[in-house]
Amino acid sequence: MALLTITAFVIFASLLYFWVKHKYAHWEKKGIKSPPVVPFIGHFGRIITFKESIDGFTKRIYEDFPNEPAVGTYRCLTPAVVLRDPELIKQVMIKDFPVFEDRGIRALDDPINDNLFVAEGETWRILRQKLTPIFTSGKLRNMMPLIDKCVGEYLEYVDGLVARGVEHEVRDLSSKYTLEVIGSCAFGVDMDVFNEKENIFRDVGNRIFSPSLLSRFAQFADFLIPGTLNFLHKTKLYNINERTQTFFLNLVNKIVGEREGRPKSRKDFMDLMIELKEQKFVEKREHDKVAKLEMSPELMAAQAVVFYAAGFETSSATMSFLIHELAFHQDIQQRLHDEICAVTEKHGGKLTYDALSEMTYLEMCFDETLRKYPIVGTLIRKALVDYQFPGTKLKIDKGTVVFLPVGGLQSDSQYFENPDVFDPERFSPENKGKIPQCVYMPFGEGPRHCIGMYS
């Protein structure tokens, strides 16, 4: 019996060894270089143990293989590829976008994932078309009085801190300001962030961007065994999104109850969502095909989540990094201050949409901040079919996840001289056009770029 057990174990171990070896020969067979792997973990060990972010990982791969257009990697046992060559990236983001239109991050069949950021296929196309009107220049112009009110409250709060000699952290201040703006412009809600009390909206943001250990473990399990999150959700053992989804569903239902059937006076995000809800179904026509999507409370809540999360974190982080750089570069700070004063004086001392549009140096400073500190340091796409990159030996299978290392590209001296130096002149009107396409991508690129990119 003991001999039989040992023999069975040896056979099982041998089969497992050759199976794993076969799995990790994927890129070698395709002639694509790949770093050494750890069995079952692949190249995601540091990510799994929270020692490295996905952005740090792709930037490291980018820098470790300077002469390779693409580098093969493994998410545990699953092949994925990091593209380094801007021309290959252009194929993914623009030229062959229909092949790579999905992000490949929708791990859970849950209503909250039917949002503009995560949604796939027809759902994404319909949402994109219907939500784009929020960011027209006219809509943003109408929101300026709301933003100006938030600015006034922010300045009053900061003045109070300075008068009392209270030390304050810039990131926290920026977060409070952006949260107040989103609450006002998107939901018509007073977030009441300029006080020292606990704030439920800040708590929700912390849950989204600082997930619990249990959430991280569930995500790791899904990396190792795809479908784990769905299994946990369907069996009601664990729902990673439950608290966030419930909060935003209640918020949306409350706002809809207060506004539905009344004139759409604010013209904000929720007014648009209510207009779509009143149509019951939203549709997208393309040639002779019509795709429909029911605008349910759950779908509205899903959009609310992504608008809250994307607007809150990205804006506050960018503001914080810009303020940090201005503190170290007094000459840049002075030039920016002079421009703001001159333009606002020209517009009667008011901060208007037109005034902001004329602040060229301010835009240059923001562009350089986003280059040096990209909020989304890695873009992700998924191949919907087997795909051969034109003019190369690189062929990827259907379902392969493609990582685009924004952080690596934007800190590469090949494209940006002295990349560690904060230099807004890179983005002057005469220099900006010299940057190769798909090298600077803080808002993404192609049809699926950030919906607020041109706002």
Tally: H helices and E strands in the chain? 19, 8
Give the separation between CA 272 and CA 269, rounded to whole angstroms: 5
Which residue reads 């340091």 in tokens? 377
Tell me the one-letter amino acid at 373: Y
* Domain parsing of the chain, residue ranges: 38-100+372-455, 109-328
| pLDDT higher at 279 or 33 | 33
Read off the pLDDT band of 286 (50, 70, 90). Answer: low
Average pLDDT score, the chain? 85
23 or 445, which is more confident?
A: 445
pLDDT at 420: 97
Question: Which CATH number is associated with domain 109-328?
Answer: 1.10.630.10
d(CA 171, CA 173): 5
What distance in Å separates the CA atoms of residue 386 and residue 436, rounded to the nearest whole number? Answer: 28
Q: Bridge partners of 102? A: 382
Joined tokens for residue 349: 């001392």
What digits encode the pLDDT tens for the residues 146-203? 888 889 999 999 999 899 988 888 988 898 898 888 888 888 877 777 776 666 676 6
pLDDT band at residue 228 under the 50/70/90 scheme: confident
Task: Please give the average per-residue pLDDT across 70-80, as a whole number.
Answer: 92
Q: Which pair of structure tokens corresponds to residue 133?
A: 């009107």
Q: Is the pLDDT of residue 10 over 80?
A: no
Distance from chain centroid for Cα 166: 33
Arithmetic mean of pLDDT, 141-145: 84
Domain spanning 38-100+372-455 has what CATH number? 3.30.43.20
Residue 450, annotated as binding a ligand: yes
Q: Which residues contact 103 (CB under 8 A, 6 or more apart)?
A: 117, 118, 120, 380, 381, 382, 448
Range 358-369 average pLDDT = 97
pLDDT at 166: 86
Q: For residue 212, count CB atoms less than 10 angstroms from its CB and return exposed for 0-12, middle for 13-18, buried for 19 or more.
A: exposed
Whole-number pLDDT of residue 18: 67
Q: β-strand 379-382 against 387-388: which pairing, if any?
A: unpaired
The DSSP letter of residue 219 is: H
| pLDDT over 70 (residue 264) | no
Residue with tokens 């190249």: 43
**Between 207 and 251, where is the model more confident?**
251
Say whether 109-328 and 38-100+372-455 share the same fold.
no
pLDDT band at 98 (very low <50, low <70, confident <90, very high): very high
Of 54-58, 211-215, 251-255, the range with the lowest mean pLDDT is 211-215
For residues 85-113, give the mean pLDDT.
87
Per-residue confidence band for 207, with pLDDT thresholds at 50, 70 and 90 = low
Confidence of residue 454 (pLDDT cuts 50, 70, 90): low
- How close are the terminal C-alpha atoms of the chain, in Å? 73
Most confidently predicted of 10-19, 92-101, 198-207: 92-101
- pTM across the whole model: 0.88
